[in-house]
Structure 1
Amino acid sequence: MSSFTLTRTLPADVGDDALRADVTKGLGGGPKHLPPKWLYDARGSEIFEEITRLPEYYPTRAEREILLDRASDIAAATGARTLVELGSGSSEKTRHLIDALAGLRTYVAVDVSPSALEQAGRELLVDHPGLDVHALVADFQHGLQLPSAPGPRLVAFLGSTIGNLLPAERAEFLSGVAGLLSPGDAFLLGTDLVKGERELVAAYDDAAGVTAEFNKNVLSVLNRELNADFDPAAFDHVAVWDAEREWIEMRLRAREELTAKIPSLGLAVHFAAGEYIRTEISAKFRQEGIRAELAAAGLELRHWWTDRAGRFAVSLAVRS
């Protein structure tokens, strides 16, 4: 018999407190920045799904290609009875793994959105009778505690979401993952790879302007949740490749001098013409860099798979 369980480890109001703290810190001084998680309200998530279907945005297709081609190899290498997905969202990208893991008994989906977890979990039960689905409302960056589940376990962090973390945050996150793994468990990681600037910038600044709409949506979030008065039309979406750090920066750049008010925080945010808010970084990786970051966290890279064009990689690691 299959089952569905939803557990909340985040207080219901934690999102409100975190948003207020992030905006106060990120817009109260300079340079201005906001964490990328605030891009993904219900509307932002819808727009991002549209982005994944754009011709310029290759990462989703490239990762899906790897999972389709290598799911049986991943299953053979891990023998996982439990699959844990961090930042699961719709759980769409892991369905290929679920199909391939013949001995799978439990799927643990971890996300901050209860509605996304509920919908994805119910759909999986229909398609995979006999699978126990445990939905965990939690923040994978802060003291994640996994429910008890049969081993060996495969912890998956896909979509190159790790690229949204700054280097120190990545180190902390990977150390936390290593601490979750028992002997026999494994960690599956999706990473976008370094490539030419033109291809990278196009993926984050598409011709149809969908990514621009996605980026500006964060201002609508601030207006709705904090009673702010940002005018999205007063900002341009910009995507910049930082060759030294090897990451893409998404920015919102003020078209002219302006001041936006956030009464609930007592903030008046002044912008000079051309001044910007950094809303996201998306780091790109090389195999030797991934190996080193994993090793520093106590993890050993065992397998490395790329799509046929060599644009994206999925790697498998175990505790050293």
Structure 2
Amino acid sequence: MIIEDFMPEIGESSIREELLACLRSDPKTLPCMYFYDSHGSELFEEITRLEEYYPPKIEIPLLRSTALKLKQDIEDNDLVELGSGDCSKISIFLDEVPKEVRQTIVYYPVDVCRDSIERSACNLQNRYPEMKVHGITADFLEHIEKMPGKRKRLFCFFGSTIGNLTEARSIEFMTDLGKVMNKNDRLLLGMDMVKDIDIIEKAYNDSQGITAEFNKNILKVANDHLKTNFDPEEFEHVAFFNRKDSRIEMHLKAKKDLEVTSTILNEKIIFKKGETIHTENSHKYTVDGIKKMAGAAGLSVENIFNDDKKWFSLVEMVKR
């Protein structure tokens, strides 16, 4: 097992500067990557098991059925998973691939967290000893040119993670990816589809309040880095579908006028009652939106695999 590390050292001062710049902006924001401290990651695992949160319940069966359809096509491929996390989804996919095909595959998990890569690579190597695993610690948005390129490749980008990017950033990413893909390379892209708005909004406003707790936890992360005194209970979790931009937006809304102070900053962070911090977007797609994504990358849409209700899609795109 090999792990290549392309992530630059990011000092605490750089993190503080980024968080402060976001909280000084108008409107205020916080980058969604800061959801995922240890507690935030645990809360997200809880979210994936909630009755209202439909994406994993649809995507997991789709991964199995799609793997059965593609299993022979990935022989002698490099399998590159962008944002691999704990590698649980690729394991579902690989379970359906015959051992004799897995023997010909090199799997490249790509994630910003080296610890995640090390743990998941070890788990995968134990689960599939016949398959080579080559971890890459990188931000695929910034280091896409670092991806392996000697053999035919299947890029995997699951979980509708692309929906968390702004429309402009997602098009930029797809353009960059298309430039590094070779002829006959493929992309398997998870995309959450537009559907009844009530269903979408319930997925981000669960009855147990787990998503609200997850959203507010980002304030505790800000406290850790900025030594601020954010009180999460002074903010309301707000999640709604923005029809114009076809996306769920998550915000934290101040319940009253607030002055947030820090032991290491000279300034106060001022909130008026009702003012929000924009914490996350989750775009939902139509078939036209899928074609726009493919077009940005110079790819052809080969197949759209979806569930019976067409709530979620795994889209196979090919570089011609």
Q: TM-score, normalised by structure 1?
A: 0.93
Aligned partners of 2:85 and 2:111 also within 8 Å: yes
Match of 1:309 in 2: 309
Residue of structure 1 equivalent to 2:129: 129
Question: Could you say if the C-alpha distance between residues 267 and 183 of structure 1 is closer, same or farther in structure 2, counting changes exceeding 3 Å?
Answer: farther
Q: Distance in 1 between matches of 2:149 and 2:27?
A: 44
- Alpha-carbon distance in structure 2 between the residues aligned to 1:185 and 1:264: 50
Tell me how far 1:318 sits from its aligned partner. Answer: 1.5
| Number of the residue aligned with 1:230 | 230
What is the deviation of 1:74?
2.5
- Kept after mapping to 1: 8 A contact 2:16/2:225: no
Contact 1:250-1:278 at 8 Å conserved across structures? yes
Check whether the contact 1:191–1:314 (CA below 8 A) recurs between aligned residues. Answer: yes
Q: Residue in 2 aligned with 1:59?
A: 55
Q: After superposition, what is the alpha-carbon deviation per residue over 1:279-317, rounded to whole angstroms, capped at 9, x for unaligned? A: 000000011111122112212111101012211000011
- Per the alignment, residue 319 of structure 2 pairs with 319
Which whole-Å CA distance do the structure 1 matches of 2:18 and 2:256 have between them? 24
**Contact 2:156 2:189 (C-alpha < 8 Å) held by counterparts:** yes
CA distance, structure 2, for counterparts of residue 130 and residue 140 of structure 1: 27
Matches within 5 A, 1:100-139: 100-101=96-97, 102-103=101-102, 104-139=104-139
Q: 1:147 to 1:308 in 2, by over 3 A?
A: same
In structure 2, relative to structure 1, the CA distance for the partners of 1:263 and 1:183 (3 Å cut) is farther
Deviates most, 264-273 or 150-159 = 264-273
Check 1:178–1:267 CA distance in 2 against 1; reply closer, same or farther (3 A cut).
farther
Say if 1:62 and 1:307, in contact at 8 Å, map to a contact too: yes
Change (3 A) 1:7 1:262: farther
- Counterpart position of 1:298: 298
Structure 2 residue aligned with 1:96: 92
DSSP 3-state at the match of 1:136: strand
Change in 2 beyond 3 A, CA 1:17/1:192: farther
Distance 1:79 1:267, change over 3 A: farther
- Tell me the distance in 2 between the aligned counterparts of 1:262 and 1:176: 40
Counterpart of 2:8? 11
1:185 Cα deviation after fit? 1.3
Q: Secondary structure at the match of 1:130?
A: coil
Does the CA-based 8 Å contact 2:219-2:231 persist in structure 1? yes
| Contact 1:79/1:152 (<8 A) preserved | no
Where 1:125 maps in the other structure, the secondary structure is helix
Please give the alpha-carbon distance, in whole angstroms, between the structure 2 residues aligned to 1:29 and 1:221: 18
2:15, 2:94 → 1: CA distance?
A: 34
Structure-2 residue corresponding to 1:183: 183
Partner of 1:12, secondary structure, is coil
Q: How far apart are the structure 2 equivalents of 1:270 and 1:136?
A: 41
Deviation (angstroms), 1:225: 1.8
Take 2:173 and 2:181, find their aligned partners in 1: how far apart are those partners?
Answer: 13
**In the alignment, does 2:280 pair up with 1:284?**
no
> How do residues 119-198 of structure 1 correspond to structure 2 at under 5 angstroms?
119-146=119-146, 148=148, 151-198=151-198
Please, which moves more after superposition, 96-105 or 28-37?
96-105
Partner residue in 2 for 1:39: 35
The alignment's C-alpha RMSD in Å is 1.7
Q: Secondary structure at the match of 1:291?
A: helix
Distance (whole Å) between structure 2 residues aligned to residue 136 and residue 262 of structure 1: 37
How high is the TM-score relative to the length of structure 2? 0.93
Pair 125,150 (structure 1): closer, same or farther in 2 beyond 3 Å: farther
Residues 35-91 of structure 1 deviation map (CA, whole Å, 9 limit, x = unaligned): 211111222111111100000000011111111112121234444521111110011
Match in the other structure for 1:26: 22
Q: CA deviation at 1:238?
A: 0.9
Structure 1 residues without counterparts, runs of 5 or longer: none
Q: State how many pairs are aligned.
A: 316
Within 5 Å, give how 1:222-261 maps onto structure 2.
Answer: 222-261=222-261
